[in-house]
Amino acid sequence: MSSEDHHTEDESTENNSRGSENADGSVDGTFEVRVGDTTLSYPDSEQTARTLMEDAGYTDDEISKSVLVAPDDEEDYRPSDTVDLSEPGRERFFVQTRTDGNSDTIA
């Protein structure tokens, strides 16, 4: 998905839409997520960590040295990893510098 398919909202926006679940288990709606102090909104629940970081204003150099971390999730997301925003706990993320302890080498 290209970065044109999202929009950034005012930083004071705190509500979070998880969409509505269809009979087949798919989810429709808008998925709002905060990356650092930036609130982003997407029409699709699955985004790459790179997309989230780019749309929050991080540069390619910063992204290549970083991982995306959810406060209540023990998993870090490398830039190439897919994040499912419809899952609980995927409403807020922080970007951290990659270390040997928090991510594999990015290929």
Residue 46 included in any domain: yes
Taken in order 107, 1, 69, 73, is the CA torsion positive or negative?
Answer: negative
Supply the pLDDT for residue 10: 40
pLDDT digits (tens, 9 = 90+) for 69-91: 988 777 889 999 999 999 888 89
pLDDT of 32 higher than 60: yes
β-bridge pairing 92-97 and 31-35: parallel
Mean predicted confidence (pLDDT) in 57-78: 91
Supply the pLDDT for residue 1: 44
Burial of 2 (0-12, 13-18, 19+ CB in 10 A): exposed
**Which domain, by its residues, includes 88?**
3-97
Question: DSSP string of 15-32?
Answer: -----EE-TTS-EES-EE
Residue 27 included in any domain: yes
0.85 exceeded by pTM: no
Number of compact structural domains in the chain: 1
Residue 31 included in any domain: yes
Supply the pLDDT for residue 12: 33
Residue 80 included in any domain: yes
User: Please, what is the average pLDDT of the chain?
Assistant: 77
Residue 107 included in any domain: no
